[in-house]
């Protein structure tokens, strides 16, 4: 149990366009989901915390108007990168915490975004 | 703010040899500690965690880690590695009462047959 999926696994988009990444908890309900960004040979950096039915909480330095997060249900959160630029190219990873869980996050396989 | 340091970016080890992956953290308050493993083309999986109680925690596949408060360390060990242990290992910390995780940069464990 506790499987998290992400879609797509890879996406290439042109500079100036927007791209949406989905994160789904497949076999549990997640009141909280997290979005991370990982640069090559660097650690995962938390971008935002997403709570079902409320606005996401963004970490310092993360542009909320650029990285739109929607947590519309207990099993789905989406990250939309708006007006993407090459510097937004990265590996985006989501995680989900069970509604009854205690500090354990279940991670998706990640989405590789390349902006050309 | 808390931080995590994994000094070794890559660790090659012969099969059936012991291994230690080092993790040090800094925090002014009490923390929870985690080790996550990422197998090729898969998401991160929780390997083990320290929340409270015994400072030695163990996973089902033979790994163990010991919380050392005086040395602010949470090193991961296994007495005999297997080819299937090839993966990236991430140490992470969160503050008491805070579910946000701060990750280290990861250690790539490569098992040599």
pLDDT value for A37: 95
- Judged against a pLDDT cut of 70, whether residue A68 lies above it is answered with yes
- Judged against a pLDDT cut of 90, whether residue B10 lies above it is answered with yes
pLDDT band at A59 (very low <50, low <70, confident <90, very high): very high
Closest alpha carbon to A96 in A86, A104, A106: A106
B44 contact residues in A (CB cutoff 8 A): 44, 93, 95, 107
- State whether residue A116 is helix, strand or coil: coil
Is A88 in contact with A23 (CB distance < 8 Å)? no
Tokens 């992400």 found at: A6
- Is the model more confident about B80 or about B100? B80
Q: How many CB atoms are closer than 10 A to CB A15?
A: 12
pLDDT value for B22: 97
Cis peptide bond prior to B32, omega within 30° of 0: no
- Judged against a pLDDT cut of 90, whether residue B1 lies above it is answered with no
B90 contact residues in A (CB cutoff 8 A): 43-44
- What digits encode the pLDDT tens for the residues A15-29? 999 999 999 999 988
Q: Which residue of B has its CA nearest to A111?
A: B43
Instruction: Say whether A104 and B104 touch across the interface (CB within 8 A).
Output: no
pLDDT value for A103: 67
Instruction: Say whether B4 and A42 touch across the interface (CB within 8 A).
Output: no
Beta strand B73-78 with B64-68 is antiparallel
- Is the model more confident about B56 or about A104? B56
Is B52 in contact with A116 (CB distance < 8 Å)? no
Mean pLDDT of the A37-41 span: 83
Closest alpha carbon to B38 in B112, B106, B103, B111: B106
- Is the model more confident about B12 or about B1? B12
């Amino acid at each position: 149990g506790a499987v998290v999926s992400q879609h797509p696994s890879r996406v290439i988009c042109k500079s100036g366009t927007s791209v949406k990444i989905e994160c789904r908890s497949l076999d549990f309900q997640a009141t909280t989901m997290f979005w991370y960004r990982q640069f090559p040979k660097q650690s995962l950096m938390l971008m935002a915390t997403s709570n079902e039915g409320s606005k996401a909480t963004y970490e310092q330095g993360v542009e909320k108007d650029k990285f739109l997060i929607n947590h519309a249900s207990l099993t789905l959160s989406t990250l939309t990168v708006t007006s993407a630029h090459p510097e937004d190219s990265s590996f985006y990873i989501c995680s989900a915490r069970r509604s009854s869980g205690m500090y354990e996050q279940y991670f998706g396989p990640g989405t590789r975004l390349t902006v050309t | 703010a808390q931080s995590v340091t994994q000094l070794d970016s890559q660790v090659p080890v012969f099969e059936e040899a012991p291994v230690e992956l080092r993790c040090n953290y800094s925090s002014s308050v009490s923390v929870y500690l985690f080790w996550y493993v990422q197998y090729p083309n898969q998401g991160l999986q929780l390997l083990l965690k320290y929340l409270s109680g015994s400072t030695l925690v163990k996973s089902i596949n033979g790994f163990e880690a010991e919380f050392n408060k005086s040395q602010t360390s949470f090193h991961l060990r296994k007495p005999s590695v297997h080819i299937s242990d090839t993966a990236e290992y991430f140490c992470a910390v969160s503050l008491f009462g805070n579910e946000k995780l701060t990750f280290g940069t990861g250690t790539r464990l490569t098992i040599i047959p």
